[in-house]
Amino acid sequence: MRCPFCGCEDTKVIDSRPSDEKKRRRRECPQCLKRFTTYEVVEKPTLMVYKKDGSFEPFDKGKLIKGIQNAIKKRPISVEQMNELVDDIENTYANAMQTETSTSEIGDKVLAGLKRLDHVAYVRFASVYKDFNDVESFIHIISELGVDGKNK
């Protein structure tokens, strides 16, 4: 790491600790003896999403959160649980170093997560994601849940 004060390329790490999703490093320059802080983050590959119309666009975490928020509105799902679901989906692609996916694959992962968390949120998301046009579609998805009188 180059010293921002004198340009020396041989700085040493004095202290290192985690900070949010970064690694905070306190450094010292052996030449000018000044100290500075750097933050290290893992660079994730850009995930491109293939849309139903045939176009590609970069993965937008905010868009995914907004869609899930609509499904969980007034349901007993915490913001922490929602963020964990979104982070799990995002990390699945990052850990696999995958650079392309489809909206349907992301939607299926959201459905699987919501199915574990809350059946009502699952049906709400499915109704928009699978574009339900009639009552039979709702009946079909609810029957797939195999609800045995217990609602999550």
pTM: 0.69
Task: Mark whether 88 and 111 lie in a shared domain.
Answer: yes
Is the confidence at residue 75, as pLDDT, over 60?
yes
- Averaged pLDDT, 117-124: 95
- Averaged pLDDT, 145-151: 58
At 147, the pLDDT band (50, 70, 90 cuts) reads low
In a domain, 150, yes or no: no
Q: What is the pLDDT of residue 149?
A: 42
CA distance 33 to 25: 16
Task: Mark whether 125 and 62 lie in a shared domain.
Answer: yes
Task: Mark whether 61 and 92 lie in a shared domain.
Answer: yes
Task: Mark whether 101 and 138 lie in a shared domain.
Answer: yes
CA distance 61 to 90: 8
Task: Mark whether 91 and 127 lie in a shared domain.
Answer: yes
73 with 66: CB under 8 angstroms? no
CA distance 150 to 119: 10
At 101, the pLDDT band (50, 70, 90 cuts) reads very high
Is the confidence at residue 52, as pLDDT, over 70?
yes
Q: Provide the domain limits for residue 25.
A: 1-42
CA distance 22 to 37: 12
- Averaged pLDDT, 34-54: 90
DSSP H or E run through 27 = strand 22-28
**Which residues are within 8 A (CB) of 113 and not within 5 positions of it... i.e. 6 or more apart?**
85, 88, 89
Q: What is the pLDDT of residue 43?
A: 77
- Averaged pLDDT, 116-141: 91
In a domain, 151, yes or no: no
Beta-sheet pairing, 48-50 with 56-58: antiparallel
